[in-house]
């Protein structure tokens, strides 16, 4: 029997299609992050929305209000994400973003235009908040262990490419009419939103979400399609059972939506600790100063380095985004080799030193010294693009268990947008009032990240999502005498069969629960048309599991 197909694709081509659509969602995210940078101080925009002219507070509000919409979108997913599913949430997010764009570009003069524009910004933000809370989870749950980090890093990296496109579209539009200056760059977002919404109608749901909702036949079909297996094959059955073990280990008890209180539990699963780890990475990304540079580079440049030359500021902003995009791709090649912890540390040191260089060169107040500040902004965005850009989107999707992953990832995204709003809102005010002290503040913030990462962030590279459950169970079993960082360092790489063995050893699952749940899933699958094939595959899977346990017992199997 041939593997199932979605969009006429199966196996690697289908996985590539999933990644392409997920990546497009983050390309749209990056585009919307950068699009206001060249618009907010443009003459055509200021003539249309007069309250923004030479008013740093209003410029900050119009730009940052988008983050409030993103925050609302993330809160929405926190509440109903488990009920909607990953696929429907992404379709909804794209549609809402398009609606917000239409509201923005249809504003007309002397007709409450600023209020309409702000409402459109908020609605667009809601759609983006829905997508950014959902896409990393969807990608992580559809990916193989060997390329999960790479794929989510590519998602994070294309944020830079989206921002690059926005900067150069802004630069090109700046030579057009007053309406073209701002309407065209904003309207262009609709193309990305349509790609996400239309394609997700035909792509599969996350197999892990399907299994938590007891849709076993659908989950088997999706697993087989994504991996290129025949339905009911021993490989598909084994992968489904490993996921089911993870669901049971997380305390799944048949709810269609994980209760909020589950986020605040400890014990062997450490839900609360893991949520805090993911959310803190998003917080640190924002207070490290990234969006002070991304959103306001032309304003920072025009204010501090090339006073009065708006086109030069836009041009240099575009060059800065080229640097940003180039370095964003480096994580694609090193994320699995170097690991998450080291990249976090390297990026933090690079960002801190770049901010030190920037504020030190602005203190003299001379044009020659200001060139050194420009170098600091370039090295900052290079360090950020290679490390802190993708990692806070990858880490929460990996570190949280399947039971709380959707809600914990939404909580992380809420942290991102809350502090994103704060930084985007106050940056132009800080620059106007304390000048170089703005960059001193961000240098100090980056310095405080180093001990947090060193002592609290366990490594997740080359680990299956189910292995990470074992890491936290091992750390908890020591009663605090072993840190979770050390537990991750000491645990060897495990096969799927060994993960099940370790889950039993730490009491994450038991034989009775495991056998009953397996029987329930197998019964449902057989009743829907896979009976003879599933029975043969179940027997083969048991035999394969026993052989793998015997060959791998007591030894880690590296997946490199």
Residue 142 has pLDDT above 60, yes or no: yes
Higher pLDDT, 246 or 14: 14
CB-based contacts of 55: which residues, under 8 Å, 6+ apart?
none
Q: What share of the chain is helix, strand, coil (3-state, %, to 5)?
A: 75, 0, 20
- State the pTM of this model: 0.74
CA 227 to chain centre: 23
Distances 293 to 369, 412, 540, 554 between C-alpha atoms, Å = 19, 22, 56, 50
CA 170 to chain centre: 25
CA distance 401 to 404: 6
DSSP string, 84-133: H-HHHHHHHHHHHHHHHHHHHHT--TTSSHHHHHHHHHHHHHHHHHHHHH
CA distance 67 to 90: 18
Instruction: Please give the pLDDT value at position 34.
Output: 82
Instruction: Please give the pLDDT value at position 416.
Output: 87
pLDDT band per the 50, 70, 90 thresholds, residue 546: very low
Instruction: Please give the pLDDT value at position 482.
Output: 60
Give me 442's structure tokens: 């961000």
Which range, of 146-155, 210-219, 380-389, 453-462, averages the lowest pLDDT?
A: 146-155
pLDDT one-digit tens code per residue, 431-455:
778 888 889 999 999 999 999 999 9
In 3D space, the residue among 177, 158, 180, 159 whose CA is nearest the CA of residue 169 turns out to be 180
Question: Within 506-552, where are the H helices?
Answer: 511-525, 531-552
Give me 342's structure tokens: 């080291």
CA distance 492 to 557: 7
Instruction: Please give the pLDDT value at position 284.
Output: 96
pLDDT one-digit tens code per residue, 99-119:
999 999 999 888 889 999 999
pLDDT band per the 50, 70, 90 thresholds, residue 254: low
pLDDT one-digit tens code per residue, 20-32:
999 999 899 889 8
147-161, 250-264, 311-325, range with greatest mean pLDDT: 311-325
The residues with which 9 forms a beta bridge, in sequence order, are 6
In 3D space, the residue among 314, 385, 5 whose CA is nearest the CA of residue 170 turns out to be 314
What's the whole-number mean pLDDT along residues 313-329? 85
pLDDT band per the 50, 70, 90 thresholds, residue 280: very high
What's the whole-number mean pLDDT along residues 354-372? 85
Question: Within 253-339, where are the H helices?
Answer: 271-287, 290-294, 297-304, 310-328, 330-338
What's the whole-number mean pLDDT along residues 5-27? 91
Instruction: Please give the pLDDT value at position 481.
Output: 52
In 3D space, the residue among 509, 524, 515, 538 whose CA is nearest the CA of residue 252 turns out to be 509
DSSP 12: H
Instruction: Please give the pLDDT value at position 89.
Output: 95
CA distance 121 to 137: 25
Which range, of 400-409, 424-433, 476-485, averages the lowest pLDDT?
A: 476-485
Mean pLDDT of the chain: 83
CA distance 257 to 405: 11
b/e 318-345 (16+ beta carbons within 10 angstroms → b): bebbebbbebbbbbbebbbeebbbebbb
Residue 538 has pLDDT above 60, yes or no: no
CA 19 to chain centre: 13
In 3D space, the residue among 226, 165, 222, 183 whose CA is nearest the CA of residue 12 turns out to be 226
Instruction: Please give the pLDDT value at position 517.
Output: 44
CA distance 240 to 245: 9
What's the whole-number mean pLDDT along residues 29-41? 85
Are 502 and 466 within 8 A, CB to CB?
Answer: no
Polymer length of the chain? 560
Helices 178-187/145-173 angle, 10° precision: 170
Residue 526 has pLDDT above 80, yes or no: no
Residue 363 has pLDDT above 50, yes or no: yes
The residues with which 6 forms a beta bridge, in sequence order, are 9
Instruction: Please give the pLDDT value at position 145.
Output: 67
CA distance 256 to 211: 11
Instruction: Please give the pLDDT value at position 380.
Output: 94
Q: Is the dihedral of CA 232, 237, 240, 241 positive or negative?
A: positive
DSSP 111: S
Residue 533 has pLDDT above 90, yes or no: no
Residue 559 has pLDDT above 60, yes or no: no
CA distance 342 to 520: 43
pLDDT one-digit tens code per residue, 88-99:
999 999 999 999
Residue 479 has pLDDT above 80, yes or no: no
Residue 190 has pLDDT above 50, yes or no: yes
Are 30 and 162 within 8 A, CB to CB?
Answer: yes
Tokens 């944020």, residue? 159
pLDDT band per the 50, 70, 90 thresholds, residue 535: very low
Higher pLDDT, 282 or 410: 282
pLDDT cut 70: percent of the chain above it: 86
pLDDT band per the 50, 70, 90 thresholds, residue 308: low
SS3 (DSSP) at 539? helix
Instruction: Give the number of other CB atoms < 10 A from CB of residue 187.
Output: 14
Residue 456 has pLDDT above 50, yes or no: yes
Instruction: Please give the pLDDT value at position 552.
Output: 41
What's the whole-number mean pLDDT along residues 249-256? 61
Instruction: Please give the pLDDT value at position 255.
Output: 59
Residue 342 has pLDDT above 60, yes or no: yes
What's the whole-number mean pLDDT along residues 209-227? 90
DSSP string, 179-209: HHHHHHHHHTHHHHHHHHHHHHTTSPPPHHH
Half-sphere exposure of 88 (CA within 13 A, CB side): 9
Are 313 and 302 within 8 A, CB to CB?
Answer: yes
DSSP 530: I
pLDDT band per the 50, 70, 90 thresholds, residue 511: very low
Domains and CATH numbers, the chain: 1-204 (1.20.1250.20), 213-250 (no CATH), 267-462 (1.20.1250.20), 465-506 (no CATH)
Residue 274 has pLDDT above 90, yes or no: yes
Instruction: Give the number of other CB atoms < 10 A from CB of residue 217.
Output: 17
Higher pLDDT, 48 or 137: 48
Which conformational region is residue 338 in: left (phi greater than 0), alpha (psi within -120 to 50 degrees), or beta? alpha
What's the whole-number mean pLDDT along residues 231-252? 79
SS3 (DSSP) at 483? coil
What's the whole-number mean pLDDT along residues 164-168? 89
Give me 205's structure tokens: 């749901």
């Amino acid at each position: 029997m041939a593997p199932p197909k979605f969009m006429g694709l199966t196996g690697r081509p289908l996985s590539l299609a999933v990644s392409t659509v997920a990546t497009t969602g983050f390309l749209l995210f990056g585009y919307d992050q950068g699009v206001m940078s060249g618009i907010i101080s443009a003459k055509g925009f200021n003539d249309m929305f007069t309250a923004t002219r030479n008013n740093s507070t209003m410029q900050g509000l119009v730009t940052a209000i988008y983050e409030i919409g993103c925050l609302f979108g993330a809160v929405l997913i926190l509440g109903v994400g488990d009920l909607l599913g990953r696929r429907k949430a992404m379709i909804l997010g794209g549609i809402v973003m398009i609606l917000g764009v239409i509201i923005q570009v249809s504003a007309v003069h002397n007709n409450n235009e600023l209020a309409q524009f702000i409402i459109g910004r908020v609605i667009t933000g809601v759609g983006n908040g829905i997508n950014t809370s959902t896409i990393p989870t969807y990608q992580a749950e559809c990916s193989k262990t060997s390329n999960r980090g790479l794929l989510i890093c590519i998602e994070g990296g294309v944020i830079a490419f989206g921002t690059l496109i926005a900067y150069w579209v802004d630069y090109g539009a700046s030579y057009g009419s007053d309406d073209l200056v701002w309407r065209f760059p904003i309207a262009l977002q609709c193309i990305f939103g349509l790609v996400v919404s239309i394609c997700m109608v035909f792509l599969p749901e996350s197999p892990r979400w399907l299994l938590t909702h007891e849709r076993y036949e659908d989950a088997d079909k999706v697993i087989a399609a994504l991996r290129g297996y025949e339905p009911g094959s021993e490989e598909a059955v084994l992968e489904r059972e490993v996921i089911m073990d993870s669901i049971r280990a997380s305390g799944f008890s048949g709810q269609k939506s994980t209760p909020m209180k589950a986020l605040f539990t400890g014990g062997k699963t450490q839900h609360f600790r893991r949520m805090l780890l993911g959310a803190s990475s998003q917080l640190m990304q924002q207070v490290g100063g990234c969006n002070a540079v991304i959103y306001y580079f032309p304003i920072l440049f025009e204010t501090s380095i090339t006073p009065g030359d708006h086109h030069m500021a836009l041009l240099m902003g575009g060059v800065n985004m080229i640097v940003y995009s180039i370095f964003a791709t480096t994580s694609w090649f090193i994320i699995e080799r170097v690991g998450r912890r080291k990249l976090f540390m390297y990026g933090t040191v690079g960002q801190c030193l770049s901010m030190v260089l920037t504020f030190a060169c602005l203190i003299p107040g001379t044009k020659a010294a200001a060139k050194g500040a420009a170098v600091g902004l370039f090295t900052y965005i290079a360090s950020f693009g290679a490390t802190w850009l993708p990692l806070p989107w990858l880490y929460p999707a990996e570190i949280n268990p399947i039971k709380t992953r959707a809600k914990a990832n939404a909580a992380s995204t809420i942290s991102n947008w809350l502090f994103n709003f704060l930084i985007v809102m106050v940056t132009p005010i800080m620059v106007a009032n304390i000048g170089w002290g703005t960059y001193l503040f961000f240098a100090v913030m980056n310095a405080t990240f180093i001990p947090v990462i060193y002592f609290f962030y366990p490594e997740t590279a080359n680990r299956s999502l189910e292995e990470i459950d074992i890491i936290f169970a091992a750390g908890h079993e020591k009663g605090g005498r072993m840190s979770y960082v050390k537990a991750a360092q000491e645990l060897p790489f495990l096969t799927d069969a060994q993960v099940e063995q370790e889950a039993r050893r730490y009491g994450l699952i038991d034989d009775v629960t495991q056998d009953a749940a397996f029987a329930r899933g197998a019964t449902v699958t057989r009743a829907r048309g896979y009976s003879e094939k599933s029975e043969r595959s179940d027997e083969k899977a048991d035999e394969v599991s026993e052989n793998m346990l015997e060959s791998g017992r007591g030894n880690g199997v590296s997946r490199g």
